[in-house]
Amino acid sequence: MSSHAYDPAATVRAYLAVFTALMVFTGLTVAVAFMNLGLMNNVVALGIAFAKAAMVMAIFMHVRGSSNLIYFCIFGSLFFLSLMFYFPLIDVLSRNLLGIPGK
């Protein structure tokens, strides 16, 4: 369906490489969870999760080399998702700062 020739061997190699990397990262995230890095625990855990997600999307979901429209879908949805996180977050984090009850 795409205009360039399909290379079966290279594709399977890429899939296996991603699978291996995902296993490594999974082990890493569990290992890091047992270390005490304070707030960085959350940063590392999410960072690893995003790295795994990026690999799955790029190689398993064929995003790498696909049209810009697909990238638009991915980053667009992440953007709107972040809006949904951001505003309730600023609400919750800034409550009771003025000493006025209920605000």
CA distance linking residue 80 with residue 95, whole number of Å: 24
Output the CA–CA distances (angstroms, integers) from residue 26 to 34, 37, 50, 90, in the order listed.
13, 18, 12, 31
Least Å from the CB of residue 40 to other proteins: 11
List residues near other proteins by CB under 8 A.
Answer: 1, 3, 6, 8, 11-12, 15-16, 18-19, 22-23, 26, 29-30, 33-36, 41, 45-46, 48-49, 52-53, 56-57, 59-62, 66-67, 69-70, 73-74, 76-78, 80-81, 83-85, 87-98, 100, 102-103
